[in-house]
């Protein structure tokens, strides 16, 4: 049996939970953020890139994680050998459809290095995007030399 003093609290709780249907489409819902990444076709690069670093050979993973005030875009790249350094996600201009293309740039080793195992070659980079920038972004694409991965809202 429910205590008489708990009945109003239970009724209020039921009413609050019943009104949560609008939460599904809200930006407050973490499931409404960027989904899992998937492999997509590469985006054409500008004619003369300003960055002298090469694109990483392969983009292995892409994650967009919500943080206070924005999101962190984290990508893992796989170069052909060990020793690649100074990696960075370099943003291209945002296109009209809301697609942000990030080039995964990295310097090759200074001297010849052995290939090693794939986990020993992995390079991880991240980029913070504020909520202000995210308002106009519908898709984030991280591209390497051989492939690209995208996360969409």
Residue pLDDT, tens place only, 22-53 = 554 555 555 456 667 767 776 665 545 677 89
**pTM here?**
0.70
> What is the rounded distance in angstroms from the CA atom of residue 1 to the CA atom of residue 6?
11
Is residue 97 within 8 Å of residue 88, measured between CB atoms?
Answer: no
The owner of tokens 């999101």 is 71
Domain ranges of the chain: 33-152
C-alpha distances in Å from residue 29, one per residue of 18, 101, 135, 153 = 16, 25, 15, 12
Residue pLDDT, tens place only, 59-118 = 999 999 999 999 999 999 999 999 889 999 999 998 889 999 999 999 999 888 888 888
């Amino acid at each position: 049996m429910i205590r008489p003093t708990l009945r109003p609290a239970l009724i209020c709780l039921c009413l609050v939970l019943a009104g949560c249907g609008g939460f599904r489409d809200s930006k407050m819902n973490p499931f409404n953020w960027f989904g899992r990444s998937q492999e997509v076709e590469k985006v054409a690069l500008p004619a003369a890139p300003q960055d002298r670093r090469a694109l990483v050979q392969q983009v292995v993973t892409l994650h967009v994680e919500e943080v206070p005030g924005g999101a962190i875009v984290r990508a893992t790249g796989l170069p052909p050998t060990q020793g690649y350094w100074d990696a960075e996600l370099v943003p291209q201009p945002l296109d009209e459809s809301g697609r942000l293309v990030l080039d995964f740039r990295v310097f090759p080793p200074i001297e010849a290095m052995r290939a090693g195992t794939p986990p020993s070659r992995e390079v991880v980079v991240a980029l913070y995007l504020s909520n202000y920038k995210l308002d106009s972004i519908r898709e984030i694409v991280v591209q390497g030399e051989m492939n690209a991965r995208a996360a969409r809202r």
